[in-house]
């Protein structure tokens, strides 16, 4: 396995700048997830590391060596695509053995069999080795795709949304297995996805890519809790971020333009427990997901999202009181940059409101107290 380093990569497609000044590194044995919406430049980043795209500027280093001019074959990286690209007329065994039969590999039949069987066992497809690739389920096909990367024992794996074409249950199962496998093998993985759950659960570190710009890099919990800006905060949540514009001058004077509150930090209370500073919201819909519940709320013309981990926490309809758990709110300046919470100011960050003006009034009160 090897360290991967991108330095100041810029890539244009005609007039479209897909990547701009992209720099990050992946440590040997690290699971690095690049998270971003469609069109962010994720696939272009992977293709650049693989040598399938030439950057207009910048360098790619593999294992400390400048690989920018190397051909894909020289790079010793294995690509796993979103769509499994198996040879349908070959058996699972032959699909797995294929990369080992490449010219220049010169492996004996016994060594090929040993590696294929070892990988098949790891991926729990050993009973399918004689099946035609077309006689597999989607999950099995994606295991074979992973297996074809694994048998090569490459310096680094590049994975382009490899789970996104699977249904939810398979996706979760394979996600857990992939993480196990990576730890067991000590594999270096650059994994790209638009799915923040995958980023949170798989990554040692996550990089958030928006519009070809790397916004922030760090351990997923840290990026989630301390996003540098609004775009990162919105990428990292699994529900939309509740955003309250600020109009009150006293608050704006502190540079605060918007307040963001995550769904799990909005407390929903029965009407009789409401305090004077709590919002009144109408419950539009409650989704009960077993272990957690999500409430879709409306305050005036504003939509709010609340999440709770207790069963039966939210009433299905009617009015509720909503309280902002203030210490976890995020304050943003007009450019979208997150402002630091006041030092030692737990509980000092301002709550939201049913209208921007009311929100700001309450926040101002909290800030003055």
Ligand X SMILES: Nc1ncnc2c1ncn2[C@@H]1O[C@H](COP(=O)(O)OP(=O)(O)O)[C@@H](O)[C@H]1O
Pairing of strands 31-35, 205-210: parallel
Nearest-approach distance from CB 8 to ligand X, in angstroms: 17
Stretch that binds ligand X, among 2-10, 39-47, 217-225, 335-343 (CB under 6 A): 39-47
What is the rounded CA–CA span in Å between residue 127 and residue 93?
A: 10
**Of these partners, ligand X, Mg ion, none, which one is at the site of residue 40 (CB under 5 to 8 Å by kind)?**
ligand X
What is the rounded CA–CA span in Å between residue 366 and residue 208?
A: 32
Of the residues 30, 33, 42, 123, which one makes contact with ligand X according to CB under 6 A: 42
Nearest-approach distance from CB 40 to ligand X, in angstroms: 4
Stretch that binds ligand X, among 11-19, 181-189, 221-229, 252-260 (CB under 6 A): 11-19
Nearest-approach distance from CB 191 to ligand X, in angstroms: 12
Nearest-approach distance from CB 80 to Mg ion, in angstroms: 13
**What are the contacts of 295-300 at 24+ separation with CB within 8 A?**
295/268, 295/320, 297/268, 297/322, 299/353, 299/354, 300/354, 300/355
Nearest-approach distance from CB 43 to ligand X, in angstroms: 3
**Of these partners, ligand X, Mg ion, none, which one is at the site of residue 208 (CB under 5 to 8 Å by kind)?**
none
What is the rounded CA–CA span in Å between residue 75 and residue 53?
A: 13
Q: Say whether residue 44 binds ligand X (CB under 6 A).
A: yes
**Of these partners, Mg ion, ligand X, none, which one is at the site of residue 13 (CB under 5 to 8 Å by kind)?**
ligand X
Kindly tell me which of 24 and 244 has the beta carbon lying closer to ligand X. Answer: 24
Kindly tell me which of 36 and 220 has the beta carbon lying closer to ligand X. Answer: 36
**Residues 348 and 363: beta-carbon distance below 8 Å:** no
3 state DSSP class of 226: coil
Within its chain, how far is the Cα of 106 from the centroid?
39
Q: Say whether residue 39 binds ligand X (CB under 6 A).
A: yes
Stretch that binds ligand X, among 32-40, 167-175, 183-191, 255-263 (CB under 6 A): 32-40
Residues that bind Mg ion (CB under 5 A): 42-43
- Which residue of the chain is nearest Mg ion when measured via CB? 43
Select from 91, 196, 184 the least CA-distant residue to 140: 91
Nearest-approach distance from CB 40 to Mg ion, in angstroms: 8
- DSSP string spanning 115-160? HHHHHHHHTT-GGGTTSBGGGS-HHHHHHHHHHHHHTT--SEEEEE
3 state DSSP class of 321: strand
Instruction: List residues near ligand X by CB under 6 A.
Output: 13, 16, 18, 36, 38-44
């Amino acid at each position: 396995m090897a360290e991967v380093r991108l330095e100041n990569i810029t890539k244009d497609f005609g007039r479209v700048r897909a990547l701009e000044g992209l720099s990050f590194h992946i440590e040997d044995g690290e699971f690095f997830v690049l998270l971003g919406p469609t069109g962010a430049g994720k696939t272009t980043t992977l293709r650049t590391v693989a040598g399938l795209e030439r950057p207009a500027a910048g360098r790619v280093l593999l294992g400390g060596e400048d690989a920018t001019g190397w051909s894909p074959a020289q790079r010793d990286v294995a690509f796993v695509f979103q769509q499994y690209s198996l040879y349908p007329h070959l058996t699972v065994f032959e699909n797995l053995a294929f990369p080992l039969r490449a010219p220049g590999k010169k492996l004996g039949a016994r060594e090929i069999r040993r590696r294929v069987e070892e990988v098949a066992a790891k991926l729990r497809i050993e009973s399918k080795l004689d099946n035609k690739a077309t006689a597999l389920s989607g999950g099995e096909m994606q295991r074979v795709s992973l297996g074809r990367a694994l048998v090569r024992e490459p310096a680094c794996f590049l994975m382009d949304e490899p789970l996104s074409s699977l249904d939810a249950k398979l996706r979760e199962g394979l996600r857990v297995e992939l993480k196990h496998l990576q730890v067991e093998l000590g594999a270096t993985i650059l994994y790209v996805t638009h799915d923040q759950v995958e980023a949170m659960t798989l990554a040692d570190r996550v990089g958030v890519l928006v519009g070809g710009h790397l916004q922030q890099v760090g351990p997923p919990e840290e990026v989630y809790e301390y996003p540098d800006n609004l775009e990162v905060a919105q990428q990292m949540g699994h529900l939309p971020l509740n955003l309250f514009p600020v109009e009150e001058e006293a608050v704006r004077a502190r540079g605060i333009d918007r307040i963001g509150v995550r769904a799990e930090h909005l407390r929903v209370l029965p009407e009789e427990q409401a305090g004077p500073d709590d919002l009144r919201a109408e419950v539009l819909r409650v989704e009960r997901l077993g272990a957690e519940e999500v409430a879709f709320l409306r305050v005036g013309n504003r939509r709010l999202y609340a999440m709770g981990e207790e069963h039966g926490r939210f009433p299905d309809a009617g009015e509720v009181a909503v309280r902002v758990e203030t210490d976890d709110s995020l304050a943003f300046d007009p450019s979208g940059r997150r402002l630091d919470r006041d030092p030692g100011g737990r509980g000092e960050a301002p709550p939201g409101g049913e209208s921007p003006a009311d929100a700001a009034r309450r926040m101002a009160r909290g800030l003055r107290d």
